[in-house]
């Protein structure tokens, strides 16, 4: 049996059909902590014991969400850089007063916003 994390402790007085163990789940210091670890608990409120398979599933969902957020940030940064280039081109065209370049720069800025 491994040592539990600091915010988790074994409660031997709980009445389970099987003897609970660290091999199958974790005991949290409060129902609130357990609910944070297992937000989609099928029961009205989880006991302080949360099975490891639910913890692993939640960890997998959290990792997937982190990856999705990272992808969104990368795409946003790419779009911002494109827009900056387009606006810089527009500013240069306006400074030069060239009508054709201004029109082209406006179109490029419009595409950058899409």
* Cα separation, 30 vs 24, whole angstroms: 18
pTM: 0.47
User: What is the pLDDT at residue 36?
Assistant: 73
Q: What pLDDT is attached to residue 111?
A: 81
Tell me the domain boundaries of the chain.
25-113
Q: Count Cβ neighbours within 10 Å for each residue of 11-30 and write b for 16 or more, e otherwise.
A: eeeeeeeeebeeeebbbbee
DSSP letter at 6 equals T
Q: What is the pLDDT of residue 44?
A: 53
Q: What is the 3-state secondary structure (H, E, C) of 23-59?
A: CCEEEECCHHHHHHHCCCCCCCCCCCEEEHHHHHHHH
List, for the chain, all residue ranges whose pLDDT scores fall below the cut of 50. Answer: 1-4, 6-23
């Amino acid at each position: 049996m491994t040592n539990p994390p600091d915010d988790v402790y074994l409660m031997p007085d709980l009445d389970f059909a099987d003897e609970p163990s660290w091999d199958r789940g974790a005991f949290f210091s409060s129902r609130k902590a357990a609910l944070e670890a297992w937000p989609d608990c099928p029961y009205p409120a989880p006991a302080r014991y949360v099975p490891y398979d639910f913890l692993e599933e939640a960890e997998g969902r959290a990792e997937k969400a982190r990856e999705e957020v990272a992808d969104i940030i990368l795409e946003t940064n790419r779009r911002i850089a494109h827009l900056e280039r387009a606006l810089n081109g527009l500013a240069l065209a306006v400074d030069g007063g060239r009508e054709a370049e201004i029109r082209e720069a406006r179109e490029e800025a419009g595409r950058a916003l899409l």
